Structure 1
Amino acid sequence: MSTTIELMQQKLATLSPANIQIIDDSAKHAGHAGAKSGGGHYQLRIVSSAFAGENTVARHRMIYDALGDMMRQQIHALSITAQTPEEVKN
C-alpha cells in the first residue's frame, strides 16, 4: 500500500519534475475539520520545466490536475511552491 506522499509523487511525475519535495504537516493540524475527514495538510516544492511561461495560477492548476481526486480525498490543504529550473538558479 502506497502512502499519500508516494501517490502524490507518482501523480506529479507527469510534470517531469527535476526536483520534488513533499512535507506532511498533518500532525500540526490535528482536530482541524479537514483532518477529521481524513484529508492531510502538505507542503509541496516542485521544480519542472513544464512550468516555463506559466503564471502561478496556471502552475497550481497543472498540479491540481495531476493530483486529480486526491485533492478531494487524501489532501485537504496543499501549500505550493512551483518553479522552473531557471528560477531556482537565479
Structure 2
Amino acid sequence: MQAQDIQQLIEDGLPGAQVVVRGDDGQHFEAEIIYTGFAGKSVVEQHRMVYGALGKRMGGEIHALALRTRAE
C-alpha cells in the first residue's frame, strides 16, 4: 500500500475532500483531510468516516494511520 493509494481510497469514499497522505515505509501513514461533510461531527465521527472509506485495509494493509481532519 502506498500513500497515493490511500489518498485515492479516501477521495473516492469522501467525494470532494481535500486529502494529503504521507508515509514512505508502506505501513505507517499520516493523512490530513479537509471535508465539508465533517461539519457538525465530532473528531471521532470524522475519523470513523475516514476508516469507513478505507474498509478492511485498516489494521491489515495499512498498519497505522494518523489522522488530522477538519471541515472546510
| Deviation (angstroms), 1:25 | 5.0
Q: Structure 1 stretches (4+) deviating beyond 4 angstroms?
A: none
Tell me, yes or no, if the aligned pair for 1:51 and 1:84 is still in contact at 8 Å. yes
Cα RMSD over matched residues? 1.6
User: Would you say how many aligned residue pairs link Structure 1 and Structure 2?
Assistant: 70
Equivalent in the alignment of 1:48: 35
Question: C-alpha distance in 1, partners of 2:64/2:71?
Answer: 23
SS of 2:7 mapped into structure 1: helix
Instruction: Name which of 7, 10, 35 aligns with 1:9.
Output: 7
Equivalent in the alignment of 1:74: 61
| Deviation (angstroms), 1:9 | 1.9
Consecutive unaligned residues of structure 2, counting only runs of 5 or more, are: none
Equivalent in the alignment of 2:19: 20
SS of 1:73 mapped into structure 2: coil
Instruction: Name which of 37, 44, 50 aligns with 1:57.
Output: 44
Identical columns (%):
33
What's the TM-score, normalizing by structure 1?
A: 0.69
Tell me, yes or no, if the aligned pair for 1:4 and 1:74 is still in contact at 8 Å. no
Higher helix share: 1
Higher-Rg structure is: 1
User: Comparing 66-75 with 6-15, which one deviates more in the overlay?
Assistant: 6-15
Tell me, yes or no, if the aligned pair for 1:25 and 1:43 is still in contact at 8 Å. no
